[in-house]
Structure 1
Amino acid sequence: MTWSQWQVPPFISSIFFILGVFTLYWVTFSWLDMWVHRRHIDIADDVINAWYGVIYVLVFIFCMQIPVIGKPISWEFMNFQLIAIIFCAYFLNIHVSLYLFPPIVLVYMVFNESLRYWESWGYAVTLVVFFMAMNWIRVRYHDQRRAWMIYMAVGAPFGGVLWLWMKFKFALSWTTFQQEWLYLIIFELLLYAYVNMLTHDGELKSHLERLASHDTLTHARNFSSYTDTVKFLFKQSTRTGEPLSMIMFDIDHFKHVNDTYGHSAGDAVLREVAETAQEVLTHKDSKLKLYRTGGEEFNILLPGYDLDQTSRIATAVFEAVKQLTVHTRGQAIQVTLSLGVSAMLTADKTPMDFYNRVDQNLYHSKKHGRKQITVG
């Protein structure tokens, strides 16, 4: 097997080519996603996936078409391009506004030198409808048990119509038409199976990552997550001079709750306090996260917040929890908090210096009667 002699049948090599293209996509997307998260950039995975997917597929389609523009064999890579479009429309679930289709189609037809062919216009309209149909069945049916059957029930007929346009345009034989259509159907099935396998693995990985970074009882982020985040934010604040503040709070008399009402009641208190605090944070700033760093101890990191702004957030959490009544096993338990608040100082050499000062403020609140906030 050399550059001039390729002994592998085209269909077999096409399968490996398609799988290779999408494997490269998942590998590069995973790297990009990891790069974004390591830098604590607030971009949702779905947004990264959608934008990167569009760019990747567009580059792929245009690069495949460049060598055959204006040639009688310009149809030969059509199945690869259709699979890429299905990947965007169904698996990435990328929605394109209707008014954007005409300019996109026009640009591609100019690029492909196909404006003067009526078959190309028919192909373009069919492709737009196909894209929208794939979007629709993805939203409506992808959670159903037989989603793959609906996917194929749409993909196979549309593939046939699209290849029919190419048969007319390039005067292909019926044998070639049937062969290419069959190949497309097989590619669609392989794509569905392959992406579902990768998606399942990705969901499992996400679940394991969440277990590793979140407290299973309260669903707040855990101490390990706090440690990683505070190191990054401390380093960033030291480098840029951006303010960084912290809130630390304890549930008052939590041992008494456990001793009096039982550990299940204590667990209920922890869950509801964490939920209430996170609701306040989400309302104030969706980027703020709650960390459970000890038994009944929680921390909140506030990058970009000065001491006055942080004090207002602390007061909001304090007041919200003060209004909380936890009902468990016929008992009504009132909850209050002791809080310590501080901002990072230039004298802080390590995150632990910062943490210790906040902890001292929390200790001051507890020592002087609890149910209060100490800022300093």
Structure 2
Amino acid sequence: MKKGFTMTWSEWQVPPFISSVFFILGVLTLYWVTFTWLETWCHRRHVAIADDVLNAWYGVIYMLVFVFSMQTPILGRAIAWEFMNFQLIAVIFCAYFLNIHISGYFFPPIVLAYMVFNGSLRYWQSWGYAITLVAFFLVMNWIRVKFHDQRHAWLVYMGVGVAFGGVMWLWMKLKFHFSWATFQQEWLYLVIFELLLYAYVNMLTHDGELKVRLSRLASHDTLTQTQNFSAYTSAMKFLFRESSRTDQPLSMIMFDIDHFKQVNDTYGHSAGDAVLQQVAATVKSVLTNTDSKLKLYRTGGEEFNILLPNYDLSRTSQIATAIFEAVNRLTVTVGTQEIRVSLSIGVSTMLTADASPMDFYNRVDQNLYYAKQHGRKQITVA
């Protein structure tokens, strides 16, 4: 008869501590992979949810599922303390690394729900543990904000983790009456887990920040800090498809800086860069005051576009006029030179006859061309 396949210490010769390390790292890796997928999915579908909000809700739900599922098999048993280090790591991960802030009135129902689930309402030690755990979460939040950017942040992190970990394991010893040797061993394991967690998450975070910077470079114009042509193309395809599907209006503003080549030839390219930057900043200010969801795209040398989902031609014309007037009042100072700026603007809205985004784009471009050919410094709406 074949021997059954088992994953035990006697068969694999792997200490429980080593398997615990790999288990925790696996849980955290799964979190990052699934969150990255969810974040990408939301971005591609232009879901109106901030990354921080998504991170907070997903992080809390993920860790609550993790903690409750870990505790379920040992409910009411004398070894109900065995997975406490996993729970503490989950708390540290949410409070410190995800920087999730929970309002005070959420703590009582969460704590009560867990204590009812765990059958520990009648134990005074459990109440002491719960209060200490809430304080641990809040202190981890606080040191994250206060010390995160400082060189000795990891020392503060470890100091808080070691101190609170010792107190919480003391509560468990008082409740379950295990030996001091077990207490010291579990506390030491927690300290090692905290160190590994800090190193591992910092590695992932560094990699994530690098990806964010690369992604921003791929979708942003570094000179004007606007979205670039690639971002415009992606947004245009999505918004055109959504407008066709929902029959909601989609409008566009396209503008050029008048006589921009002359600015470069007369004052130099650094002056031209200054003009581009200040025009972009002025237009973004108008958009922010009007509708913070609207984005400015630099689609050419001195050409910019604005896509306006759910805006009809009348409302779009009002925004174009506000941009036109704001830039016409703009004077760019370069050294001792003062450069006056004006715009030519084309405005249109998507039509049912538009078979593709390019049909829509070409019509707006024709309106801009008309404004430039008929004296510049004007708006053409059609």
Instruction: Please say whether Structure 1 and Structure 2 have the same fold, judged by a TM-score greater than 0.5.
Output: yes
Give the TM interval when normalised to the shorter protein. Answer: over 0.9
- Asked whether 1:98 is paired with 2:104, we answer yes
Superposed counterparts of 1:339-354, under 5 Å: 339-354=345-360
Mean Cα displacement is larger for which, 313-322 or 23-32?
313-322
Query: Which of 6, 24, 34 is the matching residue for 1:3?
Result: 6
In 2, Cα distance between equivalents of 1:353 and 1:102: 58
Structure 1 partner of 2:89: 83
Deviations 1:320-348 (A, max 9, x none): 11111101121111100000000000000
SS at match of 2:227: coil
Structure 1 partner of 2:277: 271
In 2, Cα distance between equivalents of 1:114 and 1:42: 41
Letter in 1 for 2:156: I
Letter in 2 for 1:139: V
In the alignment, structure 2 segments of 5+ residues that lack a partner are none
In 2, Cα distance between equivalents of 1:60 and 1:83: 11
Structure 2 partner of 1:225: 231
Letter in 2 for 1:38: R
Structure 2 partner of 1:62: 68
- Asked whether 1:40 is paired with 2:46, we answer yes
Structure 2 partner of 1:324: 330
Structure 2 partner of 1:148: 154
| Aligned partners of 1:318 and 1:337 also within 8 Å | yes
In 2, Cα distance between equivalents of 1:278 and 1:263: 22
Deviations 1:7-65 (A, max 9, x none): 31000000000000000000000000000000011222111111100000000000011
SS at match of 1:176: helix
Aligned residues: 376
In 1, Cα distance between equivalents of 2:7 and 2:213: 48
- Asked whether 1:132 is paired with 2:138, we answer yes
In 1, Cα distance between equivalents of 2:103 and 2:237: 42
| Aligned partners of 1:338 and 1:372 also within 8 Å | yes
In 1, Cα distance between equivalents of 2:375 and 2:7: 86
Query: Which of 177, 181, 191 is the matching residue for 1:185?
Result: 191
In 2, Cα distance between equivalents of 1:102 and 1:344: 52
Structure 2 partner of 1:24: 30
In 2, Cα distance between equivalents of 1:268 and 1:359: 25
| Aligned partners of 1:42 and 1:287 also within 8 Å | no
Query: Which of 158, 169, 189 is the matching residue for 2:164?
Result: 158
CA positional deviation for 1:3: 2.7
In 2, Cα distance between equivalents of 1:104 and 1:351: 49
In 2, Cα distance between equivalents of 1:227 and 1:108: 49
Structure 2 partner of 1:199: 205
Mean Cα displacement is larger for which, 311-320 or 93-102?
93-102
The percentage of aligned residue pairs carrying the same residue is 75
In 2, Cα distance between equivalents of 1:207 and 1:234: 28
SS at match of 2:273: helix
CA positional deviation for 1:4: 6.1
In 1, Cα distance between equivalents of 2:191 and 2:291: 48
Deviations 1:186-232 (A, max 9, x none): 00011111111111101000000000111111111111111111011
CA positional deviation for 1:94: 1.1
- Asked whether 1:261 is paired with 2:267, we answer yes
Q: What is the root-mean-square deviation in Å for CA atoms of aligned residues?
A: 1.0
Letter in 2 for 1:19: L
In 2, Cα distance between equivalents of 1:242 and 1:207: 34
Structure 1 segments, 4+ long, off by >6 Å, are none
- Asked whether 1:243 is paired with 2:249, we answer yes
Structure 1 partner of 2:124: 118
In 2, Cα distance between equivalents of 1:346 and 1:275: 34
Letter in 2 for 1:265: A
Letter in 2 for 1:191: L
In 1, Cα distance between equivalents of 2:7 and 2:20: 18
Deviations 1:250-286 (A, max 9, x none): 0011111111111110010001101111111111111
- Asked whether 1:286 is paired with 2:289, we answer no
In 2, Cα distance between equivalents of 1:98 and 1:5: 43
- Please report the TM-score for the alignment, with normalisation by the length of structure 1: 0.99
In 1, Cα distance between equivalents of 2:54 and 2:109: 24
In 1, Cα distance between equivalents of 2:346 and 2:355: 20
Letter in 2 for 1:5: T
SS at match of 1:59: helix
In 1, Cα distance between equivalents of 2:8 and 2:268: 77
Deviations 1:226-259 (A, max 9, x none): 1111011111111111110000000011111111
In 2, Cα distance between equivalents of 1:43 and 1:143: 27
- Asked whether 1:252 is paired with 2:255, we answer no
- Please report the TM-score for the alignment, with normalisation by the length of structure 2: 0.97
In 2, Cα distance between equivalents of 1:231 and 1:373: 25
Query: Which of 302, 305, 309 is the matching residue for 1:296?
Result: 302
In the alignment, structure 1 segments of 5+ residues that lack a partner are none
In 2, Cα distance between equivalents of 1:299 and 1:244: 13
CA positional deviation for 1:175: 0.3
SS at match of 1:80: helix
